[in-house]
Structure 1
C-alpha cells in the first residue's frame, strides 16, 4: 500500500534517489538564503528593524542547505545536478511570485511594498515547508540517520511561518491590509500550481531511478493532481489566513547552529 511514509522510505533507502532528494532540497534552501541576505541588505530605512530578522531567516536557510549536504556526505554521496523542472524557487520567480532576482542583484533600496511582497511570498511558501517538514518529523523524527536533521529543520520552518504571520499582521495594522490580502491570494494560487508541477517532476525523476511500474507512477500522479484539485478549490485558504502566533518574535536572536550535523 502506498503511503507518504513508505514512499519516502523507498527514496531514503536508495543512494541515487536520496542524493537527488537532498540535492533538490539543498539547492532550494541555499537559494532562499541568498534571497534573504539580499533583502536584508536592501530593506528601506523605514523597515530597518526587520533587517536582523530577515538576516536570521536567510542564515537558517543557508544552514538547512548545509545540513542536506552533510546528510549526503555521511553516505559518501556527491550532490546531483538539479533538474530544471524540480527547481521550486526559480519556477516561482518565473511565475512572478516574490521579488525578482534582477531587483535583488541591484543596489537600489527596496520599498515597503516590496517588503509586503517578500513577507506574503514567504508566508505562503513557509506554510508549505512547515507542513512538509511536519510530515517528515511525524514519520522520521526518530530515524537514526536523518531524525535530528528533520527535527531541527522542522522547528526552524515553524519559526519562519510564525515570523511571517506576526510581521504581516503588523504591516496590516499600519495600513497595508488590502495589499497584503491581494498579494497573499496571488502567491497562494501560483504556489499550488508550481508545487503540483514540481511534485510531478520530482516523482517522475524518482520513478526512473527506482524503476517504478507504470501503474505506481500513474497512481502517484493521480494523487498529486487530486491534492492540487483540493487546494485549487479550497485548500489555498490556509495559506492566506493570518493570526498572531503563540511564539512571538520567533526570529529574534542568532540562528541555531548545526555543528552537530556537520
Structure 2
C-alpha cells in the first residue's frame, strides 16, 4: 500500500535516496540560517527588539542543517550537490518571494516594509515546514536513527510558526493589515506552485534511485497534482490566516544545542 509512512521508509532505508533527501534538507536549512542571520544584522532601528528573535530563528535553521549532515555522517555518507530543480529556497526567490539575496548582501538597513515581507514569507514557508515535520513526527518520533532529530526539528518549526503569527499580528495592530494580507496571499500562491514543482522533481530523482515503475511514479505525481489543486482552491487559507499562538514569545532565549548529533 502506498502511504506517507511506506514512502518515507523506502527513502530512509536506501543510502542514496537518504543521502539526497538529507542533502536537500541540509541545503535549505543552511540557506535559511544565512538569510535570517543577515536580516537580524540589518533590522531597522525601530525594530531592533526583533533582532535577537530573528537571530535565534537563523541559529535554529543552521542547527537543523547540521543535524541533517550528522545523520548522513552516521551512515558514512557525504552530501551531494542539490539539483537546482529541487532547491525550494532558490525557486521561491526567483518568483520574487521574500527578500532578495542581493538585498541582504548589501550593508543597508532594512525598512519596516522589508520586515513585514520577511515575516509574511516566513509565515507561509514555516507553515509548510511545520506540517511536514508533524507528519514525520507522527510516524517516526521513536525511530532509533532519526527519531531524536525529528522531535527536535518539529518542536523548533512549531516555535518558528508561532513567532511569525505573533509578530505579524503586532504589525497588523499598528495599521499594516492591508500590506500583510496582500503579501501573505502572494507568498502562499507562489509557495504552493513551488512546492508542487519541487515535490515532482524530488520524486523524479527518487524514482531513478529506487527504481520505481512508471505506474508508481504516475500515481505519486497524480497525488502531488491533487494536493496542488486543493491548496490552490481552498487549502491556502491555512497559510494566510493569523491567530495569536498559544506559545507566546516562542523565540525568546538561546537556541537549543544539537551537540548530540555531531
Q: Structure 2-normalised TM-score?
A: 1.00
Deviation at 1:212, TM superposition (A): 0.2
SS at match of 2:109: coil
1:145-183 deviation per Cα after TM superposition (whole angstroms, max 9, x unaligned)? 000000000000000000000000001001111100000
Matched with 1:224 is 224
Matched with 1:123 is 123
Q: What RMSD, in angstroms, separates the aligned Cα atoms of the two structures?
A: 0.3
Is 1:257 the counterpart of 2:257 in the alignment? yes
Is 1:240 the counterpart of 2:240 in the alignment? yes
Is 1:178 the counterpart of 2:178 in the alignment? yes
Distance 1:261 1:133 in 2: 18
Distance 2:44 2:203 in 1: 41
Distance 1:165 1:33 in 2: 20
Distance 2:207 2:140 in 1: 22
Deviation at 1:120, TM superposition (A): 0.2
Unaligned segments of structure 2, at least 5 residues: none
Distance 2:103 2:218 in 1: 40
1:61-100 deviation per Cα after TM superposition (whole angstroms, max 9, x unaligned)? 0000000000000000000111000000000000000000
Matched with 1:85 is 85
Matched with 1:30 is 30
**Correspondences of 1:49-88 after superposition (within 5 Å):** 49-88=49-88
Distance 1:179 1:49 in 2: 22
Distance 1:168 1:55 in 2: 17
Distance 1:114 1:175 in 2: 15
Deviation at 1:222, TM superposition (A): 0.2
Unaligned segments of structure 1, at least 5 residues: none
Matched with 2:200 is 200
Matched with 2:215 is 215
Runs of 4+ in 1 over 4 A off after TM superposition: none
Matched with 2:162 is 162
